[in-house]
Structure 1
Amino acid sequence: MRRSMGAGVLRAAAGAVLSLYPKAWRERYGEEVADLVASRPVRLRTVADLAGGAGDAWLHHRRLPGTRPLRLPLAAVLVAGVYGLWLLWNPGVREMVSLHGVWAEAVRSGSLAGELRGTATTMFASAGAMALLSLAQLTPAVRTAGKRAPLGAAARTAGKRVVATGLAIALPIMLVLIMYASLMLGAGQPLGPLGDAITGGFFVPPLMALILPLPLIAATSSALRSAARAAGKSLTVAAISNAIAWLAVAVLVAMGLMEASPWFVTALAAGAVLSVGMAALVARTVLRRAPEDPAMLPERTQFGRAPF
């Protein structure tokens, strides 16, 4: 009795493990392997072999015929990125000992420290301004779509969706801008010259992520696609400015690296990679959804999906 119960448990475990294989593998080999398992005694080693095979199948699943590229929800990636940046904020920007120590050491090298600080601050501010400019580039096209009947019902519908989404994200955008401006003006605990130079890198990507839905909605209408493309170019300039600013910060930190704690450097490096990656992802997504040539438009998918 116990032996039959144990065999039943192992057989059920084997079936559960088979369900863990990639979908393309199960469609191609699943029925055959299930029949083979059903026709033979199932032992603990059988379950272990199947589990190892599942891991191997996932490692090499791209080689299977009919396998689709792995897709992650774009919205989830960006939300995780925003949370990641703000989690890195305290160890990256609030560690006052490292901030002041790195700056003091960098200043000893001469005027280059001040120039790098000015470059980083200016480029981060420029990136934020270019992100906001993308909104201004969409506004005339949306207004035209709402007033001119020849553009068609699809354009009017897309225009209304842009307006509704813009109203929904207006408050979060304002909050991000107010927080950024208040920190730059010294509200609360002063961050010092280096902290002020770094701050923008933690706020520009979230701002771009909030703006992203508007050009994507506009790109669904051929009448608004050129405006979405223009917005995408502005977001691209913002992403490039953001990357240049982080490069200036990296050189500045390297000048005073001996005064920085390992945790501070690690958190700042992770923040820089995350910030640059998020900004580039936003710009790339808009340009792919609103290409110059409509014939090059990628296969339409649901908003929030992007291949990685």
Structure 2
Amino acid sequence: MRSLAYLLLRLYPRAWRDRYGDEMRDLLAARPVRLLTLADLCFAALDAWTHRKLIPSGRGSFLQPVPLLVIGACALWGLWNPGVRDVSSLDRGWAAALETIGFAPALAAASSIAFTAGACLAILGSVPLHAHVLWRAALSKQATPTPAPVALTILGMLGLAYIQIADVYFDLGFPSGPLGKGIEGGFLAPTVLTLALALPYVAQSDPAFGRSVRSAGKANALAAGVTALGWIPAIALTMSGASGMSLRFLIPVAVSALVSLAVCGAVARFALSMPRPAGLPEPATA
């Protein structure tokens, strides 16, 4: 784990590594390195790239929030096939998990509920903003953004949520078994979060959508937190059944967990950084 943590430091901008690299290596050497530590390093790397101009001798980043999140979502889809479609590892892993811990079904149910709840919260939280945009578009041809991207975003979110809910709760998808159904939401929900953030990110440039954008941002941040929490039982379930799984299965799942957590952290950060609408007082500072 410590070696992997040192490797993750290579993800940071060169200016950051030149300024803080030695200090961070000393910190990692003095403390135990766990999975949460690796997730924190991924979040911080994303933050460092998006705020490179704040690093001494650094430059402003060309990387923008939505493209970064799209890259993360695409990475999860690329990991989807080896991650949850290795049926033999899924079956053996579930059997091993049942032998290791008696509450494996509860873990699978908890992760499925958290991932589904995160996706649904993101969709429901964006409904007022979508309605506001479409209503304003109906009144004025100059409304921004246009209705077509809004409709496509809605369809994308609903489609992904349907795939997840239909497979997990109605057994209408790929026969991945209880283990696959417990972790697959970690692949799908971050894409819903990314789609839900796209409209607020575009609409924030128009003051008329200020309150709706802020509301959607808070809902999306909450959805990101719920989705991230879903990985706690999912990781526990995977670790309990690791003895029955192949490395070809475990590695994509481990990488997917890190990418998914990084996407959730980025969504929460960007969602909460949405500008406050005019007329609302700024929060008090000490």
TM over 0.5: yes
Extract unaligned runs of 5+ from structure 1: 1-21, 23-61, 297-308
Deviation at 1:228, TM superposition (A): 1.1
Deviations 1:245-296 (A, max 9, x none): 1111111112122112222221101111111211221232122123478797
- Could you tell me which of 55, 63, 69 is aligned with 1:72? 63
- Could you tell me which of 200, 208, 218 is aligned with 2:203? 218
CA gap 1:144/1:96 in 2 versus in 1, 3 angstroms? closer
- Could you tell me which of 228, 240, 255 is aligned with 2:240? 255
Q: Higher Cα Rg: structure 1 or 2?
A: 1
CA gap 1:147/1:80 in 2 versus in 1, 3 angstroms? closer
CA gap 1:146/1:83 in 2 versus in 1, 3 angstroms? closer
Q: Does 1:264 align with 2:249?
A: yes
What TM-score do you get using the length of structure 2 for normalisation? 0.69
Q: Does 1:132 align with 2:123?
A: yes
Q: Does 1:236 align with 2:221?
A: yes
Deviations 1:23-52 (A, max 9, x none): xxxxxxxxxxxxxxxxxxxxxxxxxxxxxx
Extract unaligned runs of 5+ from structure 2: 1-14, 16-54
The answer to whether the 8 A contact 1:226-1:290 is kept is no
How do 1:1-308 residues align onto structure 2 when only pairs under 5 Å count?
63-64=56-57, 67-139=58-130, 141-142=132-133, 157=142, 160-161=144-145, 163-184=147-168, 185-187=170-172, 189-291=174-276
Q: Give the aligned partner of residue 45 of structure 1.
A: none
- Work out the CA distance in 2 between the residues paired with 1:217 and 1:73: 12
Deviation at 1:116, TM superposition (A): 0.7
Q: What is the aligned residue count?
A: 228
Q: Give the aligned partner of residue 16 of structure 1.
A: none
The answer to whether the 8 A contact 2:82-2:248 is kept is yes
2:247 partner letter: P
2:151 partner letter: L
- Work out the CA distance in 1 between the residues paired with 2:130 and 2:154: 14
Deviations 1:116-171 (A, max 9, x none): 111001001100110111222324544675699xxxx9xx955x426343123233
- Work out the CA distance in 1 between the residues paired with 2:68 and 2:214: 22
- Work out the CA distance in 2 between the residues paired with 1:87 and 1:145: 37
CA gap 1:69/1:258 in 2 versus in 1, 3 angstroms? same
Secondary structure at the counterpart of residue 208 of structure 2? coil
- Work out the CA distance in 1 between the residues paired with 2:264 and 2:147: 23
- Work out the CA distance in 2 between the residues paired with 1:141 and 1:188: 34
- Work out the CA distance in 1 between the residues paired with 2:75 and 2:243: 26
Two-structure CA RMSD over aligned residues (Å): 2.9
Secondary structure at the counterpart of residue 212 of structure 2? helix
The answer to whether the 8 A contact 1:138-1:227 is kept is yes
Deviation at 1:191, TM superposition (A): 0.6
Deviation at 1:85, TM superposition (A): 0.7
Deviation at 1:237, TM superposition (A): 1.4
The answer to whether the 8 A contact 1:201-1:275 is kept is yes
CA gap 1:228/1:183 in 2 versus in 1, 3 angstroms? same
Q: Give the aligned partner of residue 25 of structure 2.
A: none
The answer to whether the 8 A contact 2:163-2:173 is kept is no
Secondary structure at the counterpart of residue 201 of structure 1? helix
- Work out the CA distance in 1 between the residues paired with 2:85 and 2:135: 46
